[in-house]
């Protein structure tokens, strides 16, 4: 019997759809598309994350989460992003979901204006309107969570992101989702250690799936997400095949985010054929 109680992911998406509807009522689709078309070209995030022999760090502007509640006030996301970039971050992730993560498109605007490295719109993207918004606000990367999308929607959103010159970070949690990510031609594949239905974190999920990405698509950029608090975590993920790590909580709750980014970015990547 299917539970009548929605999972955390389902509950978040329900709120996201309501918020998208409210924004669409204020700014219609044609206007957003016009703004997206007028935005400067997107940066090549895949090339940035693929380059070099060290783990690349995607540093996150994250005020809160469903699992931990409030994490940090972050009154000046631009200043935080600049510190990340100064520490050697290769990209900045900006939470734009409002209800559970306390993010906004204004945060994305502020970060985009503050750094010249790729910027990720991290949200629960379920409608094309959100992709147009992402480009209008200067995003280079857009998160697509396979668990939140059916095959047709995943393919459509991935194609729209690519058509804009942006890159999708396609997030997976198991082998079936990896197959679906590969099927749409994902260039950047993120493995999230956090179960989005229960919010439990299991690093073994990442350690199991990273080598499978490497085997299936050696040129893909493999990103480890969640469960990253220390350099030992980064070392373990790098050894399993991570090209990059996406880190939020450890940075926003720490005392010196730039130093932490620099430490994580010092970890060598594993040497693999085809690179």
- Residues tagged active-site: 60, 62, 122, 171, 192, 225-226
Q: Burial-class residue 15 by CB neighbours within 10 Å (0-12, 13-18, 19+).
A: middle
CA distance 178 to 249: 25
What is the C-alpha to C-alpha distance for residues 61 and 87, in angstroms, rounded to an integer? 14
Q: How far is CA 201 from the centre of its chain?
A: 17
Q: Could you tell me the maximum CA-CA distance found in the chain, to the nearest angstrom?
A: 52
Tokens 């994350």 sit at which residue? 49
Terminal Cα distance for the chain, rounded: 47
CA distance linking residue 178 with residue 173, whole number of Å: 8
CA distance 250 to 239: 20
Q: Using an 8 Å Cβ cutoff, are 206 and 172 in contact?
A: no
- Kindly state the tokens that stand for 186: 């994902």
């Amino acid at each position: 019997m299917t539970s009548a109680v929605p999972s955390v992911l389902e509950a978040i998406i329900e709120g996201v759809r309501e918020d998208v509807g409210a924004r669409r009522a204020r700014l219609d689709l044609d206007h957003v598309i016009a703004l997206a078309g007028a935005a400067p070209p997107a940066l090549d995030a895949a090339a940035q994350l693929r380059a070099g022999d060290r783990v690349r760090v995607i540093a996150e502007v994250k005020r809160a989460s469903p699992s931990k509640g409030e994490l940090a006030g972050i009154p000046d996301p631009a200043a935080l992003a600049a510190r990340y970039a100064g520490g050697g971050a290769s990209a900045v992730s900006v939470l734009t979901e409002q209800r559970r993560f306390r993010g906004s498109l204004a945060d994305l605007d502020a970060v985009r204006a503050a750094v010249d490295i790729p910027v990720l719109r991290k949200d629960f993207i379920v409608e094309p309107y959100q992709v147009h918004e992402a480009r209008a606000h200067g995003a280079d990367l857009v998160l697509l969570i396979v668990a939140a999308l059916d095959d047709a929607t995943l393919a459509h959103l991935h194609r729209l992101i690519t058509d804009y010159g942006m890159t999708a970070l396609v997030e997976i949690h198991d082998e079936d989702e990896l197959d679906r990510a590969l099927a749409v031609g994902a260039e950047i594949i993120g493995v999230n250690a956090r179960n989005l239905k229960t919010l439990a974190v299991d690093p073994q999920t990442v350690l199991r799936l990273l080598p499978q990405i490497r085997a299936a698509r050696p040129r893909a950029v493999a990103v480890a997400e969640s469960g990253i608090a220390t350099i030992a975590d980064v070392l373990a993920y790098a050894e399993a095949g991570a090209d990059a790590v996406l880190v939020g909580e450890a940075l926003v709750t720490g005392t010196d985010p730039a130093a932490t980014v620099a430490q994580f970015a010092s970890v060598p990547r594993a040497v693999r054929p085809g690179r």
